[in-house]
Amino acid sequence: MSDRKPYRNFKKREPNQTVEQKVESFIMRNSKSGFFTKVSTISYKFEVSEDKAWSIVGELLSNGSFESIHDEYSGEMKLCEYGKKYEIMELERKRKKEKYKTKKQAIKK
């Protein structure tokens, strides 16, 4: 039989984050990457009910660290970090413009 060494190098994990903390870090990550977070994605991504998702969103908005905007076509609420709303809107506009250009060039070929 072989002699196995004990696994002593494993580090203890930090305590698990609450759902609220996970949602908050998810929205922050999206904002830093230049994207809005739709409220509808929270319920299925984090496997919580819609009521729970809306209560989490309400808490985050009341803290003042996040702001919301409504999608102009679907009317759905989108969230981002406070002060980045216009920056992300501009990035979205540029992405849509670029997508339209590449689509138009593909049709010409």
Give Cα 52 distance to the centre of its chain: 17
What pLDDT was estimated at residue 15?
72
Q: Is the pLDDT of residue 1 over 70?
A: no
Domains and CATH numbers, the chain: 19-108 (1.10.10.10)
pLDDT digits (tens, 9 = 90+) for 40-97: 999 999 999 999 999 999 999 998 889 999 988 889 999 999 999 999 999 999 999 9
In 5-76, alpha helices (H): 19-33, 39-45, 50-63
Largest CA distance in the chain: 70
Q: Is the pLDDT of residue 101 over 70?
A: yes
pLDDT tier, 6 (very low <50, low <70, confident <90, very high otherwise): low
pLDDT digits (tens, 9 = 90+) for 35-56: 999 999 999 999 999 999 999 9
Contact 57, 46 (CB under 8 A): no
Rounded to the nearest 10 degrees, the angle between the axes of helix 50-63 and helix 19-33 is: 70
Q: Is 79 exposed, middle or buried (0-12, 13-18, 19+ CB in 10 A)?
A: buried
What pLDDT was estimated at residue 56?
93
